[in-house]
Amino acid sequence: MRNPNRITEIQNLVTRIWQANPDLRYMQLIYLLQNGYSYKHGNIGKVESEETEGFAHIGYDLFNLEDDLLIQYLQTVEQQGLGHS
């Protein structure tokens, strides 16, 4: 069984990161966190699709990301800020 304490730890990290960036909407924050994790780890989970007007839609599939790795990343973001993650 996974450690249930990870839930509160992740929530608290996200809360503190969001409080440090209060002008972001929640989904913007989540997108930026996914983007940052993917970029820092060789674009893992990055999904692109080209639109008819030539604009690419970019998303992130981090379904298989283990919580302990997410916690480590969020701790780094909390310490260094969103722009440095």
Residue pair 63/38 in contact (Cβ under 8 Å)? The answer is no
Give the model's confidence band at 50: pLDDT under 50 very low, under 70 low, under 90 confident, else very high.
confident
Q: Which of 46, 49, 30, 26 is nearest to 38 (CA)?
A: 46
CA distance 76 to 72: 6
Residue pair 17/78 in contact (Cβ under 8 Å)? The answer is yes
Per-domain residue ranges of the chain: 5-84
pLDDT of residue 85 exceeding 60, the answer is no
pTM: 0.89
Give the model's confidence band at 31: pLDDT under 50 very low, under 70 low, under 90 confident, else very high.
very high
Q: How many CB atoms lie within 10 A of CB 6?
A: 14
Give the model's confidence band at 54: pLDDT under 50 very low, under 70 low, under 90 confident, else very high.
confident
pLDDT of residue 52 exceeding 80, the answer is no
